[in-house]
Amino acid sequence: MAGSGNAHLRPPGEVVLRVEDLVVEFPAGRGRSVHAVSGVSFDVARGETLGIVGESGCGKSTTARALMQMPPPLRGSVRLDGLELTALRGEALRRTRRRLQMIFQDPISSLNPRRRVRDIVAEGPRVWGAGADRVDEMLTAVGLDPATAATRRPHEFSGGQCQRVSIARALVLDPEIVICDEPVSALDVSVQAQILALLEELKERYRLTLVFIAHDLAVVKNVSDRILVMYLGKVCELASGDALVERPAHPYTRALLASIPRGGLGLPPADQLISGEPPSPVTPPSGCRFRTRCPAATPLCAAEEPVMRRIGTDHWVACHHPQETGEILKPVEAPQVARAPEAAFPQPAEEAEDARVPKSPKVPKVPKVR
């Protein structure tokens, strides 16, 4: 049986970032805590884009900040090329952080309004004493003309242009990993596509690894090699983008897919929709955290927390009653789907055992919940 450790979440390729049992809590008064991130594990392969998706408040941004050690997690491990970031302090942490950069949701408020664009992009190089010669190159790379843009201030730019400045600021220090936290959510739809295309282009040109966070599965699907689905501080499902969309196994993933309008992913409507708000992360439900909204929940789901199980090549799910993979949601007019590459890592015997689709009890037919 697959344990709750992280060996089973290995992506195909060389692991650059390994996250194990990450826990982040915030004080909630009267001795209680917000359980924002509760034992999240995943690996990121060099050169891949890992998407993280889930409703607002599920812990995506907290996970991102914990990777950057801003602040460090309460428990768990974050290893960059084997270097344990949670053990670093002071100068050593500062030096290592340069290898990880972040792009934030609100491009305008994340830029200092009083500074000129050149100074904003050059701030990292000034602090680090390196990269100053790349400022113009970066402005050009993100589609801004250094001659005209560099002396202007953020308020003179549109949201999309400000996000280009943020991207230049993040890339000027030549990071290995860029964590994009809802980088297009605040932008007009037409601008979103341009910024996503730019990120894709820069990823190739500068051989970046991306962690791409968004609440919108349609956006995440377009940019990600693999997708991790979070619900109330936990990972529900992790799979290649194709597997997640064509064979969603977790009821929550299915609900997220069902909420995408036709024309988004072009999927037929799924049979189950969820309603209501997630429970409070101060008092999360026992067992499976999704069970209070899950149309397939049984007493087992309240009694026992489901662990991540492998149900296919590069496809993992934490659910007692995952959807049998026999039912495949075919995208409308989908091109031939390429087979996901086999994991580069040999699977230990006990994981190979779990590679079969777990036999789950028949999920009773439930009425639609609206």
Ligand X SMILES: Nc1ncnc2c1ncn2[C@@H]1O[C@H](COP(=O)(O)OP(=O)(O)OP(=O)(O)O)[C@@H](O)[C@H]1O
Q: Given the rule CB under 6 A, which residues bind ligand X? A: 26, 34, 36, 54, 56-62, 215, 281
Nearer to ligand X, 35 or 118 (CB): 35
Q: How far is the CB of 200 from ligand X (least distance, A)?
A: 22
Nearer to ligand X, 138 or 214 (CB): 214
3-state secondary structure the chain: CCCCCCHHHCCCCCEEEEEEEEEEEEECCCCCEEEEEEEEEEEEECCCEEEEECCCCCCHHHHHHHHCCCCCCCEEEEEECCEEHHHCCHHHHHHHHCCEEEECCCCCCCCCCCCCHHHHHHHHHHHHCCCHHHHHHHHHHCCCCHHHHCCCCHHHCCHHHHHHHHHHHHHCCCCCEEEEECCCCCCCHHHHHHHHHHHHHHHHHCCCEEEEEECCHHHHHHHCCEEEEEECCEEEEEEEHHHHHHCCCCHHHHHHHHCCCCCCCCCCCCCCCCCCCCCCCCCCCCCCCCHHHCCCCCHHHHHCCCCCEEEECCEEECCCCCCCCCCCCCCCCCCCCCCCCCCCCCCCHHHHHHCCCCCCCCCCCCCCCC
| Closest to 240 in 3D by CA, of 346, 137, 150, 311 | 311
Q: How far is the CB of 242 from ligand X (least distance, A)?
A: 24
Nearer to ligand X, 139 or 186 (CB): 186
Q: How far is the CB of 65 from ligand X (least distance, A)?
A: 8
Nearer to ligand X, 34 or 258 (CB): 34
Q: How far is the CB of 289 from ligand X (least distance, A)?
A: 12
Q: How far is the CB of 82 from ligand X (least distance, A)?
A: 27
Nearer to ligand X, 58 or 167 (CB): 58
Q: How far is the CB of 63 from ligand X (least distance, A)?
A: 7
Q: How far is the CB of 273 from ligand X (least distance, A)?
A: 20
Phi and psi dihedrals of 357, rounded to 5? -65, 125
Q: How far is the CB of 302 from ligand X (least distance, A)?
A: 22
Nearer to ligand X, 60 or 134 (CB): 60
Tokens of residue 366, six digits: 């439930």
Taking a C-beta distance cutoff of 8 angstroms, is the pair 257, 329 a contact? yes
The rounded distance, in Å, linking the Cα atoms of 76 and 86 is 8
The rounded distance, in Å, linking the Cα atoms of 77 and 109 is 31
Nearer to ligand X, 62 or 209 (CB): 62
Taking a C-beta distance cutoff of 8 angstroms, is the pair 304, 287 a contact? yes
Q: How far is the CB of 72 from ligand X (least distance, A)?
A: 14
Nearer to ligand X, 232 or 297 (CB): 232
Q: How many CB atoms lie within 10 A of CB 155?
A: 10
Nearer to ligand X, 61 or 69 (CB): 61
Q: How far is the CB of 278 from ligand X (least distance, A)?
A: 9
Nearer to ligand X, 234 or 254 (CB): 234
